[in-house]
Amino acid sequence: MKNTFSAYHPFINLLFYIGAMVFGMILMHPAFLLCSVALAFAYYMALANQKSKYLFRMLVLFLVVAFTNPFFNHSGEKILFIYMNGRVYTLEALCYGMVLAAMFITVITWFASYNIVMTSDKFLYCFGRLLPAVSLLLTMVFRFVPAYKRQIGQIASARKCIGKSTENGTALQKAEHGMAVLSALASWAFEGGIVAADSMRSRGFGSGGRTSFSVYRWESRDRGLLFLMLVLIFGIIGCVAKGGAYAAYTPKIVLAGIDNRYTWMGVIFYGIFLSIPTVVNLAEECKWLILKSKI
Amino acid sequence: MSKEFINNHYYVFSVLIIFIAFAIFCFRFEKKRPQAREMVTLAVMSAIAVAARAAFVMVPHFKPMSGVIMISGMAFGPGAGFLIGSVSAFVSNFMFGQGAWTPWQMLAYGMAGMLGGFLRGRKVLEEKKGLLFIAAYGFVAVVGIVGPILDTSSIFLMPDVNNAEAIAAIYASGLPLNVVHGLATFLTLLLLTRPMLEKLNRIMTKYGVMKRE
């Protein structure tokens, strides 16, 4: 599937992920968690390469975290069994473990799709105006790292010719040869860096304002989505502030019930907010199908 | 915000505090209006720290990053060391994937640079016997400070840390890896400090960058 959501403006992408992750870590009510688990996976599965492997790993992680939690947390009323001279394994701690495990795999999954959507250029664009020096620094590092890796390869193969390969000898000798490579890299890198700095200065770096290149344009669809997202975020915060997402697990499970209208309103807002990327992608797909069918 | 709310969401709030610390640091850096040569020097050092792993692909479990960051701290001072460390951690995570651990790694490697920076201008850096002291200092810094900060990010994985038992378990399980990391740093500092510092000092004298105020 084509990832239309990542074609939106970087600010939209960033705002979505900040919202999804912060709410994902704070909201521990099962209804909210169900929303976030389902929608985080729905979006990532549309983008991922190794779907079944990822799902399997997340399932294992979920089970491990959920079932080990009661070994660390002994509070709770309903005792499932007692082990090792009187320590208790309680139902409440198990439920809490499942909640935390769900939260954990949700955030990991959001990060997995974040790594696909928010490429380094988008990140730099978002902070370029706020922190020009820091983002220029980051840009330079991004450019230098692959160049230096290539240079390390060249230095290492040149040293191989004089019998100082990093592949031979004991671990200590390998480490020593590696250090020599690094040292050679440092001289080369600093000489080049100073030349680059002088070139920057002679082109007027530091003499005034700077513009930065970007390929992003703020379009009307971004404005629409921003408005929707802000409304939903304030809606969720409002519902949470009214106690709609209240959940306590230990020592006694107390949840905000279905009879609480702030709970279901909050869940609806949260569900709509988190389904934005998936819906955007599906809508684009449908639009394309309709356009194709007319030809 | 009630105390209970903050206690229940310790992860979010601890990351928030880290972010505020970074924000203060970044804005101070911006306000200084760094010169081109200073910027490039910082970028080169961070990139070397990130790329350094490529020189040791043949040595398993050898992570030279903390060592290189500490050396740059020794040459350029604690502030620059912190910046180099956190930038390196951030950039290397763009290659290995960002995650909930990113802020902690940035903090931990930043601390490595800062701790290295505390040695700046000290006599040990020139003395013949000082090398062993520097390497030991690096080992202690990694096992005692940098490693535990990295481990702290897994309070997210080991969720219920409301009792000391669980916290102790997390740090104890991280110890073997931290010792390996510490040994790598020890070796890096032992072998690389002298040649690297010579080069960095030469750059500083020759081109007048990053001079001490």
What CATH number does the domain containing B184 carry? 1.10.1760.20
Token pair in block for residue B201? 């000092």
CA B63 – CA A194 distance, rounded (Å): 27
pLDDT interval class at A212 (50, 70, 90): confident
Confidence class for position B161, pLDDT limits 50, 70, 90: low
Residues 6+ apart with CB under 8 A from A53: none
Confidence of residue B139 (pLDDT cuts 50, 70, 90): very high
d(CA B167, CA B100): 18
The B residues from 191 to 210 touching A (CB cutoff 8 Å) are 191-192, 195-196, 199-200, 203, 207, 209
Per mean pLDDT, which range of A58-67, B8-17, B72-81 is the poorest? B8-17
| Residues of B whose CB is below 8 A from A112 | 97
**Residue B196 in domain:** yes
Mind listing the pLDDT tens digit for each residue in A224-247? Answer: 999 999 999 999 999 988 888 888
Residue B78 lies in a domain: yes
- B40 within some domain: yes
- Residues of A (109-138) whose Cβ lies below 8 Å from B: 111-112, 114-115, 120, 131-134, 136-138
Q: What confidence score (pLDDT) does residue B203 get?
A: 85
| Chain B interface includes A200 (CB < 8 A) | yes
Q: 3-class SS at B116?
A: helix
Q: Say what percent of chain A tops pLDDT 90.
A: 40
Query: Residue A243: closest CA among chain B residues belongs to which residue?
Result: B5
Number of domains, chain B: 1
Which of A21-30, A148-157, B156-165 is the least confident region? B156-165
Owning domain of residue B203? 3-207
Distance of CA A285 to the CA centre of its chain: 25
pLDDT confidence bin for A14, thresholds 50/70/90: very high
Question: Confidence band (pLDDT; 50, 70, 90) for B42?
Answer: very high
Whether B212 is covered by a domain: the verdict is no
Q: Give B2→chain A minimum CA distance, Å.
A: 12
For the residues B48-63, what does the mean pLDDT come to?
84
Contact (CB, 8 A) for B115 and B72: no
Would you call A271 helix, strand, or coil by DSSP? helix
pLDDT at A27 over 90: no
Residue type at A67 in one-letter notation = F
Q: Which residues contact A187 (CB under 8 A, 6 or more apart)?
A: B199
Query: Terminus-to-terminus CA distance in chain A, angstroms?
Result: 21
Confidence of residue B127 (pLDDT cuts 50, 70, 90): confident
Look at A274 and B205; give whichever has higher pLDDT. A274
Residue B7's pLDDT is what? Answer: 67
**pLDDT, tens only, A31-58:** 999 999 999 999 999 888 888 999 999 9
Q: Is B58:B50 a contact under the CB 8 Å cutoff?
A: no
Q: Which residues pair with A254 in a beta bridge?
A: A248
All residues at 6 or more sequence positions from A112 whose CB lies less than 8 Å from its CB, including other chains: A44, A48, A54, B97
Q: What does the pLDDT look like over A104-117, one tens digit per residue?
A: 899 889 999 998 99
List of residues 6+ apart from B11 with CB closer than 8 A:
A25, B100, B155, B156
Is B112 among the domain residues?
Answer: yes
Is A237 at the interface with chain B, CB within 8 A? no
Average pLDDT, chain A: 87
Rounded distance, CA B148 to CA B142, Å? 8
Residue B17 lies in a domain: yes
What distance in Å separates the CA atoms of residue A136 and residue A212, rounded to the nearest whole number?
Answer: 10
Q: Do B68 and A178 touch (CB under 8 A)?
A: no
What is the bridge-based pairing of β-strands A79-83 and A87-90? antiparallel
